[in-house]
Structure 1
Amino acid sequence: MVVGNGSSIHFWDDLWLGNSSLSARFNRLYHLDSVPNGSIVSKVDNGNWNFSWTRDNAGGRSQQQLSDLLELLGTSNLSDKIDSWSCNIAKDGSFTVKEARERIDRNHLPSFQVDTIVFLIVGTYPLDIDSIVCPVCNNGVETHDHLFFDCNVARDVWHC
């Protein structure tokens, strides 16, 4: 998440500062917060971090967590922009289904050395066809059944 004005990002539970939620990293403070589901901006008052605790901080580990949290938060700034999402798949930080699909294809699907065969449904338009011989194996009439069940070359390519 990219923090803008902090109004739509949950302070404790959303991943906005580091690789884990603040509730996981500062569990004692999370349980002391009287508004644990509040947004980032709800924790800011006049530009300063301001928390509302259910009881006074007794020191010890809670005090150390508060110190660590405030040090971490010191690097954060709110702006007038709206909160947004960023994606590390695309170079510009945007997310598209196409880019995600292409990345999955590149990284997880097997690569064949044989050209992919594309099938088109033509309908009732007349076509001039030079040959009805299967262009994949040059052995038999090109039909659906031949290509998917009888053509050894195509069967080797499509076999999973």
Structure 2
Amino acid sequence: MEYLSSLKYVGVWNNISSTKKSLGKLGIEIHDLFGINIQSGNNTLFWYDHWIGGNSLKSKYPNLFELESQKRCMVVDRVGGMNHNWKWKVRPATRGLDSEVDDLNRDVSNVQLNFGMDQWRCKLSSDGIFSVAIVRQLVDKLHTVCPVAPVITWSKLVPIKVISLVWRAAQLRIPTATTLERRGISVSSTLCCSCIGCPECADHVLINCPFAHMIRSYIWSWCGITNVHDSIKTISDLIHFASNWGGNIKKRQRFIVICYGMLWNLWRFRNKRLFHAEGISVYRDLESIKVMTFYWIKHRGDRGICSWEDWATSPFYDL
């Protein structure tokens, strides 16, 4: 494996060989994920593979490796007999490497070759079978990006760009003023462009800003929901609430569409105020949310939907 990762490939094989480097950046050594059960020694590289001990023999005995005449030899080519089958370019004794040869002989002295193919086993699974999912679980365990990020509902009724924004917003990774400033990008002001009273972070723009709070209150009233808005303080709170709201699955799915549409439009309204100097109009912006979510469900759903007049009265009129 070490030998293969040292070669230069193009295309798909380049991506595969670069896996070692990518995992190394995360503190995961790919060699530590596998073990080799030596049988015949016919398909295990003697110097490159991590088949004995924690490292390759190439790393443990670099001086002897330089003297090796066939660096890509297999285990079966070198292990066997009392003195083993060494093939040096020059005798190690001439370089003062007798002690290293003795250590190498001791390392491989207990290796017994048998019939059959050498077997690679994944140390992460009980059955020794490798899967990408197991490595993904290890990466998530060691490097959780956002441990409190909620589960995003992927609905075909919602455009993918909207779901992507909601997912990024839940991880506080949308380009608000405070986020840009932390990244070293110069901004004219880090204050919210709507209320001019608080730093502009993701939770403030979409949840805690008085404008967002007012829009949400009207949406809740339109949906017939009361005594909830004060308990929602973060984007994660809103997503979690929408994903668990009510006992009717069809109503819940439609409510999720409305909440995602609300977050999308709040971000759009913020951008219009910031970059186009548009004024705030709660009624206009509320109507934009109603119209957009109505057309999402009407044109992206499999079943029909109530008339616009009924929708404007209640989004659950036909359910």
Instruction: Settle same-fold status: TM greater than 0.5.
Output: yes
Do structure 1's residue 17 and structure 2's residue 58 form an aligned pair? Answer: no
Q: 2:147 aligns with which of 95, 111, 127?
A: 111
Do structure 1's residue 35 and structure 2's residue 70 form an aligned pair? Answer: yes
Do structure 1's residue 85 and structure 2's residue 201 form an aligned pair? Answer: no
- Greater helix proportion: 2
Mind listing any 5+ residue stretches in structure 2 that lack a counterpart? 1-34, 158-248, 268-319
Query: Map of 1:66-85 to 2, 5 A cutoff?
Result: 66-85=101-120
Tell which structure's C-alpha radius of gyration is larger: 2
CA 41–147 in structure 1, closer or farther in 2 if over 3 Å, else same: same
The equivalent residue for 2:266 is 150
Distance 2:80 2:250 in 1: 76
Q: Which has the higher contact order (CA 8 A, sep 6+)?
A: 1
Deviation sequence 1:89-121 (CA, Å, 0-9, x none): 22333211122222222332222275x232232
Distance 2:260 2:85 in 1: 70
Mind listing any 5+ residue stretches in structure 1 that lack a counterpart? 123-127, 136-140, 152-160
CA 146–56 in structure 1, closer or farther in 2 if over 3 Å, else same: same
CA 142–72 in structure 1, closer or farther in 2 if over 3 Å, else same: same
Distance 2:139 2:89 in 1: 47
Distance 1:5 1:12 in 2: 16
CA 119–69 in structure 1, closer or farther in 2 if over 3 Å, else same: same
- Structure 1 residue identity aligned to 2:104: L
SS at match of 1:64: helix
Decide whether the 8 Å contact of 2:121 with 2:130 is kept in 1. Answer: yes
Distance 2:68 2:143 in 1: 43
What is the CA RMSD across the aligned residues, in angstroms?
Answer: 3.2
Distance 2:253 2:95 in 1: 84
Distance 1:74 1:46 in 2: 9
Percent of aligned positions that are identical = 24
Distance 1:83 1:131 in 2: 54
Distance 2:155 2:82 in 1: 62
Deviation sequence 1:118-157 (CA, Å, 0-9, x none): 22326xxxxx94478745xxxxx70643244539xxxxxx
Distance 2:68 2:153 in 1: 59
Deviation sequence 1:42-89 (CA, Å, 0-9, x none): 113458621122223426741101110011111322222312222222
Count of residues in correspondence between the two structures: 141
Distance 2:66 2:252 in 1: 76
- Structure 1 residue identity aligned to 2:99: Q
**Segments of 4+ moved more than 3 angstroms:** 44-48, 128-135, 147-151
CA 45–131 in structure 1, closer or farther in 2 if over 3 Å, else same: closer
The equivalent residue for 1:101 is 136
Could you tell me how far 1:41 is from its partner in structure 2? Answer: 0.7
Distance 2:154 2:61 in 1: 57
Distance 1:45 1:80 in 2: 14
SS at match of 2:99: helix
- Give the alignment's TM-score, normalised by structure 2: 0.38
Decide whether the 8 Å contact of 2:69 with 2:89 is kept in 1. Answer: yes
Q: 1:52 aligns with which of 80, 84, 87?
A: 87
- Give the alignment's TM-score, normalised by structure 1: 0.69
Greater mean deviation of Cα atoms: 12-21 or 49-58: 49-58
